[in-house]
Amino acid sequence: MTAAKGYASGSKEVSVTEGLTSLRGKKPASLYVFAPGDDYFVPQAKEAARSLVAEAFRAFDYAEFEGSDDNVDGIREFLGSESFGSGRKVLVVNGLEDKGAKRLGTMAPLFLSGSTTTVIFADPAKVPSELLKKAYVVTSYAVPPTAVRSWINKRFEGRAIEDQAVHELMERTASSFFLMRSEIDKLLAYTDAAVTVADVREVVPRCHIAAAADLVEAISLRKYDRAATALYDLSASGAADTTILYDVELGFVRLLNAKLVSKSNRPKADLRAWCLRTQHQYLDDYTLRALLTAASHIKLRELEAMLERLEEIEYETKKGLISSALVALERLLSAVALTTQ
């Protein structure tokens, strides 16, 4: 369930900030691939791409297609045509179907001609290697916490908000700009004065990522009532079994690395760097302290056993041996609680 890493040789993996900066620059690359992530950035990337073509020529030199086999001929025609005067053409491809992707791979010279910038929104694993190896691949949607807080305060349009309420909003939405945007609108409608942490807790539900992280922390701290609440939040999120298991395993892997850093007396910066590099997550001071505290309350062998059991649950879920991942996690929680009494 670990995230796929190491895309085609030659591709350049960048953060969303780096990708958008390049796309908005005077010399954009020929090809960008935006992996699935925070949907807030999709319209931003499209607007950045659209702005590369003068408004007067966008009807001719800007095109947007779904990445299906039916559209391959249209994409080929657009790439092979001359610019109508802007000097640069821009192509946006939304998603990739397997058959269409295979045919697009045979058109690499057209994509990389130099006069066209192409932006593909798709899983990099589906992008033909002929294209991917030449692309800027945006895989990380993590933004430094200070920048996230600044963005939140601006979205509140002058309305006061407690610092702890900002942190709570970030935690409950896993700092997803797409989620935060809608939750801030709800908070503005719900409140008529300074926004408090109590307001955030009442209005903003925990997303599946935040609920999974809370479940992992609660289990490590032996706070089983809190863990049960986290399971309820996971159920309420509506996330798929595979997503829930991935999030929970990711949390325990993060906890395992925190344990190893602590046991070996390595600097905390190593844990921060690892989380950003492998899980695309920034750890602010508060989150880092909470993670290390949780790691200090659970034994290494317990973490390893938990990860092994999660792998078994994943297998059982895929084979249809259990009704749902949530049921299996509930049983796991009950077993853990009984063994620690």
Query: Could you read off the pLDDT of 292-320 as tens digits, one per residue?
Result: 999 999 999 999 999 999 999 999 988 88
Q: Could you tell me if 134 and 198 lie in one domain?
A: no
Q: Could you tell me if 235 and 114 lie in one domain?
A: no
| Predicted pLDDT at 4 | 39
Q: Could you tell me if 113 and 21 lie in one domain?
A: yes
Q: Which whole number is the average pLDDT over 217-224? A: 94
Q: Could you tell me if 74 and 171 lie in one domain?
A: no
| Predicted pLDDT at 2 | 35
Residue 264 lies in a domain: yes
Q: Which whole number is the average pLDDT over 240-262? A: 92
Of 118, 140, 162, which marks where a domain is finished?
A: 140
| Predicted pLDDT at 85 | 74
Say if residue 23's pLDDT is above 50. yes
Band of the pLDDT at 219, cuts 50, 70, 90? very high
Say if residue 68's pLDDT is above 50. yes
Residue 1 CB partners (closer than 8 Å, separation 6+): 242, 245, 246, 249, 250, 310, 311, 314
CA–CA distance, 117 with 103 (Å, rounded to integer): 19
Question: HSE of 15 in the Cβ direction (CA atoms, 13 Å)?
Answer: 13
- Show the domain range for 305: 208-339
Token digits of residue 165 = 């309420």
Residues forming beta bridges with residue 34, ordered by sequence position: 121, 138
Residues forming beta bridges with residue 120, ordered by sequence position: 33, 93
Mean pLDDT taken over the chain: 90
Band of the pLDDT at 337, cuts 50, 70, 90? confident
81: which DSSP letter? S
In terms of Cβ atoms closer than 10 Å to its own Cβ (0-12, 13-18, 19+), residue 337 is middle
Q: Taking the model in full, what pTM does it have? A: 0.71
Q: Could you tell me if 184 and 78 lie in one domain?
A: no
Band of the pLDDT at 335, cuts 50, 70, 90? confident
Q: Could you tell me if 246 and 302 lie in one domain?
A: yes
